[in-house]
Amino acid sequence: MKGVEVGPEEDGSVPTLRLAGIGQLAEIDEDAFTDGAFILSIGGAQQSHVDLVNPGNVFYEYLRRIANVLDIFKPAGKPIRVLHLGAGALTLARYVQAKRPGSDQVAVELERELLDFVLEHLPLPAGTRCSLVIDDARAALDRFEPESFDAVVLDVFAGADAPAHLTEDAFYRALTALTAPGGVVLVNVGDDPPLTFARAQARLLREAADDVALLADAGMVSGRMAGNVVLVGTDRLWPADWTPKLVAAGPHPGVVVTGPELASFCTAQQ
């Protein structure tokens, strides 16, 4: 992506768009610390970080944890099929293309104008094979045949006020049904203490998948700290060798919680 000029408008102003659907302002600012990187904010809150020069650079911690799983669950460098539910600025789609060229991807986003705005100012790297679908995350699942993807990434939750139809057992079972043998379901859950919502989502994924791991900052597991946890559902027993690889990959201090410890997290008194 070197040589691609994306950034402020010709008059030096920051690209902005008032999103009609939610009435909030979307804007794309240059990252003051990383040349060629940009930050998408909505309603004044940072939503996505994109490094156009180096798409393999994932800045946000929870996305880095998801990216680490995408690195190890299949042989390195091999193309994979990925469904992204919640497109944002397509940070992970860019990452997959950089690390696994030739991958087939689908990104689902509810707000068409947001996706158009992102692609106008932060175009995807040449050669990226990513179909874009404007739809609700649950409704979009009906477009695909079972076992259509190697990885399904759900990144739509904004805390406990998430749409109810995305927090039901049937939805999680639909996610796992879309993954091919050996695939993974990755769910980002942001929450505040005592992590009531995150614990509920972990329980739902444990019911739908054969095994589940939780990836997070070490301080999150106690339930006394706000932030993001990443849930990883598999169709087999969690591979023991994944744990040290993911811990070593960071961000630090990070933990991978499985088995009885995860069961305790799910059922802890709140």
pLDDT tens per residue across all 270 residues of the chain: 333 334 444 455 689 988 877 778 999 999 999 999 999 998 888 989 999 999 999 999 999 999 999 999 999 999 999 999 998 899 999 999 999 999 999 999 988 899 999 999 999 999 999 999 999 999 999 999 999 999 999 999 766 677 889 999 999 999 999 999 999 999 999 999 999 999 999 999 999 999 999 999 999 998 889 999 999 999 999 999 999 999 999 999 999 999 999 999 998 865
**CATH number of the structural domain 58-267:** 3.40.50.150
Contacts of 33 (CB under 8 A, 6+ apart): none
User: Which of 107, 102, 88 shows the shortest CA–CA distance to 26?
Assistant: 88
The CA distance from 80 to 105, in Å, is: 8
- Write down the domain spans for the chain: 58-267
The rounded distance, in Å, linking the Cα atoms of 24 and 221 is: 33
8 A C-beta contact, residue 231 and residue 257: no
Using only C-alpha atoms, the chain has a radius of gyration, in whole angstroms, of 18
CA 92, 185, 247, 251: dihedral to nearest 10 degrees? 30
> In whole angstroms, what separates CA 85 from the centre of its chain?
8
Give CA–CA dist 16/26, Å, rounded: 5
Helix 196-208 to helix 169-177 angle (10° resolution) is: 50
Most distant CA atoms of the chain, gap in Å: 58
Report the DSSP pairing between strands 179-191 and 211-217. Answer: unpaired
Torsional sign, CA 232, 60, 25, 124: negative
